[in-house]
Structure 1
Amino acid sequence: MSKLRLLHHWTSKKKPIICHIRPSPTEGVTVKTDLNTVSFPNSSAIFDSHNKPGNPGALICACLVCIGVPKTRDDDLISILEKRFSTKGLEIECLSSLPHGSGLGTSSILATAIIKGLWQSSGTSYSEKNICHAKEEDY
């Protein structure tokens, strides 16, 4: 049954993974998922979650750290957001119709979508190679 449901999502042209990135009136980074809404008001909060996979928003925090938003836990997150995204607040919303823990590579695909979306939102030029090797390069 779940295979048919998953196939239905693909055949109906509904995208199984979606990432929206937009300015937010709330300072810092707000993460919205199917289950949670979490706020990260400063760099320290992002660093506290980026390497804890069980935390809500951890994957998004890992992607932010990967591209240097922020580079250290002491960085002024609001200044970085203003410089890179021309806003004091960023909302990142990620939705997936794929079953959690399905082994379909959802986290990898979502991380790619997040990094690509962040770069598009900030006007950073990128290629598929940049996305695959994001941590190896300095942004």
Structure 2
Amino acid sequence: MSKYYNYSNLAEKPTDKKRKSPTRNYINYSKSKAAGTKIHLNNKLRLRCFFLVVIVSAMGMFITFRNGVAASQGYELVKMKQSVSSLEKENSRLKLDIAGLKSPERIKGIAVKDLGMVLPPQIYFANKNR
């Protein structure tokens, strides 16, 4: 009976008749565990896989966190644009109010009615251009 070495789901047979084990450290299931043989595990490979999983997990968490921050900043930008729009509308309304309050007809009406002022019978203009 020939020896088979298990590597994941694949079984392989040693190709070289002189070598009894393949070049990698595989778990030999053909020998019984009760016979006192040790199972050699590839600890370097396990450690590399562990670090790979940790690095991939950290990258995934970083990307998720970054996308969350970008989404919240996008919502904040939309709110700021809305507030800018409302403030611009209020500013234009206030400019119209100022223009209405500065009108000469309004000032003349307040002077005559409320303050008791009278208009002079003649108005003289000085022209400095001559």
TM-score range, shorter chain: under 0.3
Q: Answer with 1 or 2: which has the greater Rg.
A: 2
Structure with the higher fraction of residues in helix conformation: 2
TM-score by length of 1: 0.16
Tell me which of the two structures has the higher relative contact order, counting C-alpha pairs closer than 8 angstroms and 6 or more residues apart. 1
Structure with the higher fraction of residues in strand conformation: 1
